Each structure stands twice: as structure tokens, then as C-alpha cells.
Structure 1
Amino acid sequence: MESPGYKPSLSEIAYRRIKEMILSLTLAPGSSLTEMGLIDQLGMSRTPIREALYRLQQERFVELTPRKGWFVSEIKLQDIQQLFVIREALEGIATRQATQRTPDHELAVMADKLAALEQGLRDDELNATDAGDEIHTLIFAHADNPYISSIMTLYLDRLQLFHVIAMNLPGRKWQSWLEHRQILAAMQSRDADAAEQAMRQHIRSSLQSILEGLMQQPGFPSPGVRLTPSL
């Protein structure tokens, strides 16, 4: 959280705006980036744009190719699979631990939130709210394991990109709602085994939806979305 009175630098603003465009898929994977184009789009000088791009390169959101220039990093099946191996293991453990530690009243509040979303999903799934993030946040808050939270924080932005892809798939928000309701029900029953397995199944289901979402990207297969076999 930023302190009161904090004023981000132009480089920080450029970094945030370019990253936001990447995570929202406004800048497609594999697409070319030119400094002049970003200068015109963001209304900034070359220096903060270049600093932002080098920072995003360190985070593997963009790549600099010799004699060709900047590109939004491609999405590769191996990267997704490796991240989701980590995610399934860590969130499964976190859910098991949180099942025994989360207060009843917080679980009840979350159950009410999920119930309130049901009609909205039935009426207009595309614009309905996804409560999944709140449940995952609740689980990490009560897993009482700062190491898990720290590791997951490293990958949250990358996972957000995959989340956008999955949630664009028709029926995915509804399926996600059902999966989170199952996770929450197991937690309310204080059944750690069932809660962990429900979370692991949800992560596997999310991965499948991401792959299906990538298959539906316009122009697929394309250089920007490579579903290559995992090693």
C-alpha cells in the first residue's frame, strides 16, 4: 500500500499502464511494441517508457529481440503448466490449513456473498462478478503461512493474465462459482481433506479453461500463443 502523499514517477506510471494493457490482453501476446508508439499512446517522453520496458523485461512480460525490437512475451504451455503445478500445491496446502483456522463468521459472510451472486450469473454471466479472488484471499489470510503467501505473490500478476483468458470462456464463471461453493462448503464442515481436494480440482479445472480459452483466440494458432508440449 502506498503511503499518503506518494507521487509515482513517470517511469512508474508508464510501467503500470503498459503492464495493465498486457494483463487485460489489450496488448496481445507476441505483439510488437515500439517506443515511439508507446510515447504517442501514453503521452510521455522516451526515457520513462524505456525504463518501464526494461522493468517489464525483468518480470518477463516483454522481450527485447536483437535487430527486431520489443515484443509482448508469448504465452507458452510449459510456462502455464509449471505455474499451475506450483499453484495447485500451494493453494491446496493453504486451503487445508485455513479450513481449521478461518472463523465461522467469516466463512458465513463468504457463503452469503457467493449465494448473492447466483442470480446474477444466471441472468448475465458475462458481466457477473467472480467471487473467486475473495475466497482465495480469505484462505491465504488464515492459512497462517507467510512463506506460501510470499511465493504466490511473485506469480499473482502472471496468474491474473491467465485468469482473464479463462473468464472469457462461456460458462467458466458459472463453473468457477460452483467450484468455489464446493470449497467453501468443505471448509464450513471443517473437512480439511475435502477442502484441499476441492481446491486442487478447481485449479486443474482453471488450467483446462485457460487452454480452451487460448484455443479460441482469434487467429490461433499464432506466434503469440504457442501450446508446445511440456518437458
Structure 2
Amino acid sequence: MRHPQDKPKPKSLSQLAYECLENEIVTMKLPPGILVTEAQLRDQLGLGRTPLREAMQRLQWEGLIEVRPRAGIRVTDLRQSDFAKVLRLRHTLEPELVAAAVANSTEKQRAYFARLRADFVKSEAQNDRAAFLKADKALDSYMAELADEPFLALSIAPLQTHSRRFWYRFFSANGVAAAVQLHLPLIDACHAGAGEPARGASQTLLAGLLANATAQMA
């Protein structure tokens, strides 16, 4: 069994470029439907050609951008009703990843969840959407790293990104408190090394997000 590091491993230039461009899309700095060129993105974000192209390939596969030859890069549209579809898929898949993350981790590795919890709580105290998204991304990434289930993680990661994008566009105006409170039981169960409670907390989190989304769309 492979044990990951006690904290997230260092990121490659390609991963950093991906996270930079992903964040621009999630936070609507690159809004749905906008058409930009590769050169504009390099200048705007300060990214190198090769890391940017690798990031673009991944984002295109995830359905966040469309690469149009001789035209540029178009950010895909958003339909609010699709958020529920994304959450239902996550509800099916993600609890298995969470259970694997707990089972495959050491006590020392699980200690990092305390830092993640503090980041979530701080984002709530400051009602900081950007800080919440950063903490949520960090939690998802660390969970995938701990789980050592690459095929499952590859299936879930795009759904998590789409979820953040939907949440920011349609629901974040109401603040981060409700979303943070749904995450804390999951983080606490993972920190405690409680696999089945963590699985259940993941299911409750995603059911809660789905209920909130459905109520606001009604």
C-alpha cells in the first residue's frame, strides 16, 4: 500500500497552470461564453506556453472549455439545472473515495485535516468566497491523494470543479456559512480516522448541497 506524504505533495508547473485557469473559470473572471486566445491567457495569467497548453487539454476534457481552431478558447455555458445532475453523480461516487482516503491514511497524515478545518472556519468567519473555494479545492485534492484510487479520482475531480463553478455562479451570493457547516462533519470524521462516519458525512454533505440547490431553483 502506498502512503502519501503527511501534507500535499508539491505541484508541477502544469498543475499550477491548471489550477490558475480553473479558478479563473470557476470564479467567473472568465465567464461562460467568453472567447479568448492562448496568447491572451499567457499574458493575463503569466503562464508558460507548455504548462498552459497542458492545462487547456485537461480543462477541455473536463468540459470547461472548448478549443476552436483559428478562433480561440471558449468557456462553456452554464445551465443551472445541471447542478443537480452533477451532485447526484458525486453522491454516488464520492463517498467511496472518502472511505478509501480514511482507510489508506496514517494518523500523522490525517492531522492535516485540522489545518483544512481551520481554513474552512476562517472562510466562514470572513464570509470569503475565494477562501472557501480554495479550502474546498484543497480538501478534494488531499482526499484524492490519500485515497490512492486514481480511476475513481479522475472520474470525480471534474464533477467537483463543475460543482464549485455552479455554486459560485448561482448560490454563493447567499454567503459561505451553509456550505462550510455541511463540510465540517466530513472533515472531523476524516481527522478522527472514522471511515464509515466519514462515508456517511460525505453522503450528508452532498445531499445537503443538492437540497439547497433544489430549493433555490424552485
**Normalised by the size of structure 1, how large is the TM-score?**
0.58
Q: Is residue 2:137 matched to residue 1:133?
A: yes
For residues 108 and 203 of structure 2, the distance between their equivalents in structure 1, rounded to whole angstroms, comes to: 24
Task: Provide the aligned C-alpha RMSD in A.
Answer: 4.4
Structure 1 or 2, whichever has the larger Rg, is 1
Match of 1:197 in 2: 200
SS at match of 2:103: helix
SS at match of 2:174: coil
Unaligned runs of at least 5 residues, structure 2: 1-10, 44-52, 68-72
Matched-pair contact (CA < 8 Å) for 1:169–1:209: no
AA aligned to 1:125 is N
Residue 199 of structure 1 deviates from its aligned partner by 0.8
Give the Å deviation of 1:161: 1.6
Aligned-partner SS, 1:85? helix
Q: Distance in 2 between matches of 1:72 and 1:150?
A: 21
Q: Is structure 2 residue 186 aligned with structure 1 residue 183? A: yes
Q: Of residues 105, 108, 111 in structure 2, which corresponds to 1:105?
A: 108
Structure (1 or 2) with the greater helix fraction:
2
Structure 1 match to 2:146: 142
**Is 2:91–2:207's contact at 8 Å kept on the other side of the alignment?**
yes
CA gap of 1:104–1:160, structure 2 versus 1, over 3 A, is: same
Distance 1:2 1:202, change over 3 A: same
Percent identical across equivalent pairs?
17
Contact 1:162 1:210 in 2 (8 A): no
Paired residue type of 1:135: L
Is the Cα contact below 8 Å between 2:87 and 2:209 reproduced in 1?
A: no
Closer/same/farther in 2, CA of residues 73 and 211 from structure 1, 3 Å limit: farther
Q: TM-score, normalised by structure 2?
A: 0.61
Corresponding residue for residue 115 of structure 1:
118
1:165 to 162, 169, 172: 169
